[in-house]
Amino acid sequence: MWSLLLATGYLKVLDLKALDSDEEGIGEEGDIWYTLSITNFEAKRMFCKMVRDWFKNDTEVYYNEFIKALLNGNVKKMNTFMNKVALNTFSSFDSGNKPSEQAETERFYHGFVLGMVVNLSDAYKVRSNRERGKNEPCSFGRYNVMIEPLDKTRKAFILELKVLDPDEDEKSLEDTLVNARTQIEEKQYEAELISAGFATDQIRKYGFAFRGKECLIG
């Protein structure tokens, strides 16, 4: 899809680099990664309309309710409304679950969830797939999504997304959710927020487990 958008002029290349080493969930040594940007104002308007169309009618209501539930820590409602958004929005192509599609499918879910929370940027710093800097506390990988409030008295959020993977002995979404939450703890994703002055009880950590149009959050 990205190649098609680039070839047809909707996107342009800002930068490219080769990976120096294998990176889990990212690629192998020698892979070429491109930084892309929307070409012009007309293309930006087209993409904005496309995203708005995803969330119109009932789906827009479900989206708003999901964000409200996330900020209020209501996991039951987060599950309810995320599954309604998925049912109304995801296609079988987008959420394919064949082993060969695993990486691309996970990127789709990642991009979708990131797109849902990015509108919080007026009150939160929304970051994605970031590795720690040299002077930051030890963290051993890339978190999927981190939502840091500009108001340090509010809650911060870490979201780890995974697709059910039978190769990891995951037989259910519950198994995938356990692995997502375990990864948050093992890789110490909260270290960046703690170094920024947040107390541990201010940090909410959520795993998202996906299979097709199903989602389990916890």
State the pLDDT at residue 172.
Answer: 92
Q: How many residues does the chain have?
A: 218
User: What is the per-residue pLDDT across 116-127, written as a single tens digit (0 to 9) for each?
Assistant: 787 788 899 988
Closest CA to 71 of 128, 129, 116, 131: 116
pTM tops 0.75: no
Residue 139's pLDDT is 45
Element (H, E) at 147: strand 145-149
The 8-class DSSP code of residue 20 comes to S
Which among 196, 199, 182 is positioned nearest to 140, based on CA atoms?
Answer: 182
Cα–Cα distance measured from residue 165 to residue 167, given in angstroms and rounded to the nearest whole number: 5
Average pLDDT over residues 60-68: 76
Residue 152 has pLDDT above 50, yes or no: yes
Name 17's Cβ contacts closer than 8 Å, sequence gap at least 6. 32, 33
pLDDT at residue 173, rounded to an integer = 94
Radius of gyration of the chain (CA): 18
The structure tokens listed for 203 are 């940090």
Residue 209: CB atoms within 10 A of its CB come to: 26
User: What average pLDDT score do residues 163-183 get?
Assistant: 91
Q: How far apart are CA 150 and CA 177, in angstroms?
A: 29
